[in-house]
Amino acid sequence: MRASQIFIPTLKETPAEAELVSHQLLLRGGFIRRLASGLYTWMPLGLRVLRKVERVVREEMDRSGAQELLMPVVQPAELWQESGRWEQYGPELLRLRDRHDREFCLGPTHEEVISDLARREIHSYRQLPVNFYQIQTKFRDEIRPRFGLMRGREFIMKDAYSFHMDHSSLEITYQAMYEAYQRVFTRLGLSFRAVEADNGAIGGKRSHEFHVLADSGEDAIVSCHHCDYAANMEKAASRPDLAETEIPLAAERVRTPGIRTVAEQAEHLGIPTAKIVKTVLVVADGKTVMLLLRGDDELNLVKAGHALNAQDVQMARPEEAISATGAPLGFIGPKEPLLSIPILADHRALGVANFSTGANAADLHWINLNWDRDLPRPAAADLRNVRAGDACPHCAEGTLSIRRGIEVGHVFQLGERYSESMGITVLDETGRDATVTMGCYGIGVSRVVAAAVEQHFDDRGIIWPVALAPFEVGIVAINARKSPDVAAAAQALHDRLEAEGYSVLLDDRDERPGVQFATMDLVGLPHRIVVSDTVLAQGVWEYRARRTTENVLLDETQLMERLR
């Protein structure tokens, strides 16, 4: 490809709106352009990178036995009402009406659609297990879209959904997906870590996130020096043994086994749950049930019993939310990014909830602490974040360290969350109806592009891993418009390399060499070859790897070896 034939609108200045390196460089290199908040156009160069990610993802999904399909972006409200998420999902769900006044949403994820498909099409245990995937546009009306592709409103996800007769079958596919994800991120040249994650509001059983390691990451991840324990901060901090202050009645506190969701917790406590939108926390003072709906660092406060739609949501700081219950407050720890809040009502501690003010604050989780008798006075357990140097909860020897990560993938065991609410049953071997069990598996395909840049750049621009590079080789033809020898040699080299299977960008523009070099560095092609009258006179090629600042003169054989 000639540079004169592909539109690469590079920018000299760093756009003011871009905070993150990846956002800056993707704009400056002409990979993406902003349309509106959280909405980006993939320019020709950027699209080539996106397609490369898609290709690797597709190959590994196919290899794992998953089958590709493509579902609609627009989804009927009825399906979401059946699953209960029309109410639960909250304002991230973009809702719309058609000309007949029927309600729809733009899909932020596809559990409902795939579940509808499965209940119509899958009738027998003989058709299971099965794993369907798609690579497709999602829409989430994020409260704070930012960092370009990193947190868009419209973005591209690979999402897969598997169906099984039983848990052991789900476990096998979950493991296969976990391994496929490891192959994907390894092939893409990314340094990553899989960590345990909480299933949060979705419920279910096991869950892991895949994080690209980068200081700019929105998430904190915890790992052990000694063993293979690794978890995201929310998961790691949700352990009752992290209670910093021993509460007076610690000896009598009762862990309620098996309670995971707020709804379950509320039910257990006999608190009337209203329709729960995006449930993160139930605060009860004996009379009122308050639901806090998570936003990025604001919490939406809703009184139960109201029609829970966006208009009814008042914004509130967490402190206000808690004090609004009228319950005595023991502790709020604003120094830490993670706040721990004891939920007290009528001098009775109902439990402790923690949440992070970080952008990746996963949904609030109940800590499974309950006190089954009245407290003499308000008391609090301060569940704190994990700190570097804490003992590992899994092995005796290790200590924990904390790093930053970008969530690029997530695997979930959904269990019967959707198959029960939407009625996905099949006939089992004995001819009886059985409810299927499900898993779901996502990769942020467009976020991967930004995450890769966060890991691979220098002060001159992007340094693409070969697997992601829009072109593997850049040829800079110096003075090609004036030197027919240079023009011919550069074109011949371009053709030879393409015939060898390399993708090649030939910079044949009528620009000063300095401008040509700066463009090559900015757009980050792994290999650069300079063709000039000088090097031609010596019968060599001038080669430079993007990672270095060193030019080497190579004959054709040596050059081919370098590229390999």
Write out the residues near Mg ion by the rule CB under 5 A. 407, 410
Distance CA(169)–CA(304), nearest Å, equals: 39
CB of 198 to ligand ATP, least distance (A): 11
CB of 410 to ligand ATP, least distance (A): 4
Assigned token pair, 323: 């004090």
Nearer to Mg ion, 198 or 382 (CB): 198
Distance CA(403)–CA(413), nearest Å, equals: 25
Nearer to Mg ion, 161 or 471 (CB): 161
CB of 545 to ligand ATP, least distance (A): 30
Residue of 112, 382, 407, 521 that binds ligand ATP (CB under 6 A)? 407
The SS3 of residue 540 is coil
Assigned token pair, 296: 């990025």
Nearer to Mg ion, 87 or 407 (CB): 407
277 near 260, Cβ under 8 Å? no
Specify the residue for token string 């570097």: 388
**What count of other Cβ atoms lies within 10 Å of the Cβ of residue 266?**
24
CB of 235 to Mg ion, least distance (A): 11
Give the number of C-alpha atoms closer than 13 A to the C-alpha of residue 428, restricted to the C-beta side: 10
Distance CA(290)–CA(265), nearest Å, equals: 13
Nearer to ligand ATP, 155 or 471 (CB): 155
Q: Which stretch binds ligand ATP (CB under 6 A): 98-106, 319-327, 417-425, 443-451?
A: 443-451
464 near 50, Cβ under 8 Å? no
Q: Which residues contact 338 (CB under 8 A, 6 or more apart)?
A: 233, 237, 354, 355, 356, 357, 358, 384, 385
Residue at shortest CB range from ligand ATP: 444
Which candidate, 154, 161, 171, 159, places its Cα nearest to that of 116?
Answer: 161
CB of 112 to Mg ion, least distance (A): 17
Nearer to ligand ATP, 169 or 446 (CB): 446
Residue of 442, 461, 470, 526 that binds ligand ATP (CB under 6 A)? 442
**Binding to ligand ATP by residue 142, rule CB under 6 A?**
yes
What residue 409 binds from ligand ATP, Mg ion, none (CB within 5 to 8 A, per partner kind)? Answer: ligand ATP
Q: Which stretch binds ligand ATP (CB under 6 A): 148-156, 325-333, 413-421, 455-463?
A: 148-156
**Binding to ligand ATP by residue 444, rule CB under 6 A?**
yes
CB of 409 to ligand ATP, least distance (A): 5
CB of 202 to ligand ATP, least distance (A): 9
Assigned token pair, 497: 């390399």
CB of 174 to ligand ATP, least distance (A): 15
The pairing of strands 473-477 and 504-507 is parallel
SS3 content of the chain, % helix, strand, coil (to 5): 30, 30, 40
CA 320 from chain center: how many Å? 30
Nearer to ligand ATP, 360 or 370 (CB): 360
Strand ranges inside 312-362, DSSP E = 314-316, 338-345, 348-356
Nearer to ligand ATP, 351 or 409 (CB): 409
Binding mask 84-113 for ligand ATP (x = CB under 6 A): -------------------------x----
Dihedral sign, Cα of residue 39, residue 43, residue 45, residue 51: positive
Residue at shortest CB range from Mg ion: 410
Give the number of C-alpha atoms closer than 13 A to the C-alpha of residue 59, restricted to the C-beta side: 11
Nearer to Mg ion, 408 or 497 (CB): 408
Nearer to Mg ion, 328 or 444 (CB): 444
- Is the previous residue joined to 129 through a cis bond, with omega within 30 degrees of 0? yes
Nearer to ligand ATP, 411 or 530 (CB): 411
**Binding to ligand ATP by residue 204, rule CB under 6 A?**
no
Residue of 351, 409, 415, 474 that binds ligand ATP (CB under 6 A)? 409
Residue of 52, 119, 140, 164 that binds ligand ATP (CB under 6 A)? 140
Q: Which stretch binds ligand ATP (CB under 6 A): 180-188, 235-243, 340-348, 438-446?
A: 438-446
**Rg of the Cα atoms in the chain:** 27
Q: Which residues contact 350 (CB under 8 A, 6 or more apart)?
A: 269, 284, 343, 344, 370
Nearer to ligand ATP, 30 or 444 (CB): 444
**Binding to ligand ATP by residue 235, rule CB under 6 A?**
no
CA-CA distances (angstroms) from residue 426 to 84, 124, 154?
A: 22, 5, 35
Assigned token pair, 461: 């621009």
Residues of span 150-169 touching ligand ATP by CB under 6 A: 151-152, 155, 157
Angle ∠(497,501,507) on CA atoms, nearest 5 = 45
45 near 470, Cβ under 8 Å? yes
Q: Which stretch binds ligand ATP (CB under 6 A): 95-103, 188-196, 424-432, 441-449?
A: 441-449
Assigned token pair, 104: 């729809």
**What count of other Cβ atoms lies within 10 Å of the Cβ of residue 13?**
8
Binding mask 333-372 for ligand ATP (x = CB under 6 A): ---------------------------x------------
**Binding to ligand ATP by residue 447, rule CB under 6 A?**
yes
Distance CA(406)–CA(386), nearest Å, equals: 19
What residue 521 binds from Mg ion, ligand ATP, none (CB within 5 to 8 A, per partner kind)? Answer: none
CB of 82 to ligand ATP, least distance (A): 20
Distance CA(533)–CA(416), nearest Å, equals: 69
Binding site for ligand ATP (CB under 6 A): 109, 140, 142, 151-152, 155, 157, 360, 407-410, 442, 444, 446-447
